[in-house]
Amino acid sequence: MRVAMIGSGYVGLVSGACFADFGHQVTCVDTDAAKIGQLKAGRMPIYEPGLEELVRSNARAGRLAFTIDIAEGMKGADAVFIAVGTPSRRGDGHADLSYVYAAARDIARNLEGFTVVVTKSTVPVGTGDEVERLIRETNPAADVAVASNPEFLREGAAIGDFKRPDRIVIGIQDPRARGVLEELYRPLFLNQAPILVTSRRTAELIKYAANAFLAVKITFINEMADLCEKVGGNVQEVARGIGLDKRIGPKFLNAGPGYGGSCFPKDTLALIKTAEDHDSPVRIVEAAVRANDLRKRAMGRKVIAAMGGEVRGRTIAILGLTFKPETDDMRDAPSIAIIQTLQDAGARIVAYDPEGMEQARHVLSGVDYRVDAYGAVAGADAMVLVTEWDEFRALDLARVRKLLRAPVVVDLRNIYRPEEMARHGFHYHSVGR
């Protein structure tokens, strides 16, 4: 089948490359000429494990192409996916749908024959209705079916998530869309991935509900971690104890410095705004958002407390800047608020991240970046583990102890065992233990 992917960011590029790998003919369209130039040259605008080789191999095979010309990209397409950004709108927190609506109008002007237009971007309930209205307003003669097909891709594991999904959600109003989308995803039938077909509005809500639920789950275990510290419990054992209950499950029960990234912060906020607009507030989600925002600066204060309550003029080594491992994404990363809290208290920050330092330079100032973890801790008064990259899981602790000016380690991801750190002579502080 022929597929046009409007938007070549994280979702569009991963989805387009994976569809091409299934054997479909895919053209990714983007208004950013520099990005398209990069992709044609085989250079990735984002870091995602396995993506560069997937893009290059399918481009070489002639199944994946890139263009800034939407007419060229849509020529002969059976399905056109909208995969543009929906950032939080300045001022009110609603999802900014201007890119989605602009894409809908551009698509309408270039439709040829029956086409399924699919919203892949994360959008509030009712967006598909407006997309369809705009298409029909722009091109009254269009033979089109508008569907919703939300993505459930984790940064750092997106290719595996696309190819081995827990489920594929398809929201339709026109039954003709079902056959087209089922044919597109037919290769996944071998993996027995269930396809859930719903109304369009239900599909839109599923995406927001899923992300909000996971954000609440993370916030819950973080609050349990705080309680564990007060009463002498161990949050890792609490998490295991409740996670073994099949009604709860073990995932997203790792205590830490709070959630960030491209999805949870903006999607929870957008859900709250949608609920308010429909006079059906989501109080649990509101509380989770508030608690998560407060937690990030609280982790900065935790570091200050571990250093005796005073950090002015002292050097703190931060290991890990991105909101999670295996990505270069700095959006709403906990490290930002933690570093700013420490800088506000007068600390000097040195930092290292395997992939995120270039992006970090755009959002953080006054940080001294180093080429590796040992370079960061050399001469520092404390080491703070913020992101659980694999290379931080097996540091040479004897070497770290010698390099640090003071033996203070604050582990915000509970990577190490307290008894092990004590044997190496560290003053060790973790989360919820």
Of the residues 249, 271, 289, the one at which a domain ends: 289
What distances in angstroms separate CA 99 from CA 73, 103, 121, 248, one per listed residue? 17, 6, 10, 37
Do 256 and 173 sit in the same domain of this protein?
Answer: no
Do 13 and 123 sit in the same domain of this protein?
Answer: yes
- Does some domain include residue 254? yes
Do 179 and 254 sit in the same domain of this protein?
Answer: no
- Does some domain include residue 48? yes
Do 274 and 303 sit in the same domain of this protein?
Answer: no
Question: Residue 374: helix, strand or coil by DSSP?
Answer: helix
Of the residues 172, 198, 224, the one at which a domain ends: 198
Do 160 and 225 sit in the same domain of this protein?
Answer: no
What distances in angstroms separate CA 184 from CA 159, 173, 201, 281, 403, one per listed residue? 16, 18, 21, 37, 55
297: which residues sit within 8 A by CB, 6+ positions away? 337, 338, 340, 341
Q: Which of 18, 28, 228, 263 is catalytic?
A: 263
Question: Residue 213: helix, strand or coil by DSSP?
Answer: helix
Total of domains in the chain:
3
| 179-238 residue pLDDT tens | 999 999 999 977 778 999 999 999 999 999 999 999 999 999 999 999 999 999 999 999
Place of tokens 């929201």: 171
- Does some domain include residue 203? no
Do 161 and 20 sit in the same domain of this protein?
Answer: yes
Domain that holds residue 134: 2-198
Exposure of 144 by Cβ count < 10 A (0-12 exposed, 13-18 middle, 19+ buried)? buried
Q: Is 263 a catalytic residue?
A: yes
Domain holding 146: CATH number?
A: 3.40.50.720
Do 246 and 300 sit in the same domain of this protein?
Answer: no
Pick out the chain residues at pLDDT < 50: none
Of the residues 198, 222, 251, the one at which a domain ends: 198
Question: Residue 429: helix, strand or coil by DSSP?
Answer: strand
